[in-house]
Structure 1
Amino acid sequence: RSRPSRLPSPSASPSASPSPSVSPSPSASPSASPSPSPTATAPASLFTNGADYPIADLATVESPITVSGRIGNAPSALKVPVDIKHTYRGDLQVDLIAPDGTAYRLKSTATGLFGDSADNVIATYTVNASSETANGTWKLRVRDAASGDTGFIDSWSLQF
């Protein structure tokens, strides 16, 4: 009986070595167009008045903040955080007064049979004040439109 051969089977003939590839040479023109330089914006700033201003019945009170060191106009999204303590917030009308005297309504008095009987106004309002010069004295004006409840402006800020 014959034995199977244990010799290795013949392999395929070697292939020719591949020719070297040519890499593309760098292009003289950039493949992407340059991006525009970023525009300069003033850093965010916070100006706060933390003094208490009493709000008497049927009275109006103003709390000032003097802004300085800003360039140009106020932003289109000026943030106005307010903290007003009052036992009936529906009595209150709240306005931001720009340095030129322009009033921006932040909160109106409540209307209707029962109004808004909750305590305090703690909110952040956003005002488009882009037509106003940033520097100058800004005021928070609070008017109490009904008798029977009092309070005070606890604090407020302008966030540029």
Structure 2
Amino acid sequence: MQNLVVRGASSPAVAIPEDRPEGVGDVITLEGAGTVSTLRVTVSITHTYAGDLRVALLSPTGKRAVLHNRSGGEADDLHLDLTSEPPSLLAPLVGQPVAGLWRLTVSDNAARDTGTLDSWAIEIQTAT
């Protein structure tokens, strides 16, 4: 069996409720055998205060990697392009099964600023 590249993308354009730690989520369903060897995730969020945001990715087994945790201060918008190359915030997801529901969660943890989860994508190189 050879290593494969599995990709998924979503453009939910969903509003992120302000000052709600539970936030919003979106799911990409991936198919493929094996486990994660390397991983790349891109996220695009329109928001008036990036320092309010917390972004996490959950594997099909529920393993969590926090991709952004209320940094960036007053900057507008959040655009992430992360890989699993060490050191990486995605490291906890290496070795997870590829197939299943990959869930991105975004929460706004302060009042007054609003935003939208515009799009996100995931690309996995499998290990057999």
Same fold (TM over 0.5): yes
Whose radius of gyration is greater, 1 or 2?
A: 1
Match of 1:121 in 2: 78
Gaps of 5+ in 2: 84-89
Unaligned runs of 5+ in 1: 1-38
Match of 2:120 in 1: 156
**Which 4+ runs in 1 deviate beyond 6 A?**
none
Identify which of structures 1 and 2 has the higher relative contact order when contacts are C-alpha pairs closer than 8 Å and 6+ apart: 2
Separation in structure 2 between the aligned mates of residue 40 and residue 135 of structure 1, nearest angstrom: 16
Which structure shows the higher strand fraction?
2
Match of 1:71 among 33, 44, 49: 33
> How many aligned residue pairs are there?
115
CA contact (8 A) 2:6 2:30 kept: no
RMSD of aligned Cα (Å): 1.4
Residues 129-140 of structure 1 mapped to structure 2, 5 A cutoff:
129-140=93-104
Paired-residue identity, %: 31
Residue by residue over 1:35-71, the C-alpha shift from the partner in whole angstroms, topping out at 9 and shown as x without a partner, is xxxx8321x2320011212101112111111111x11
- Deviation string for 1:3-23 (max 9, x for gaps)? xxxxxxxxxxxxxxxxxxxxx
TM-score normalised according to structure 1 size: 0.68
Name the CA distance, whole Å, in 1 between partners of 2:103 and 2:6: 17
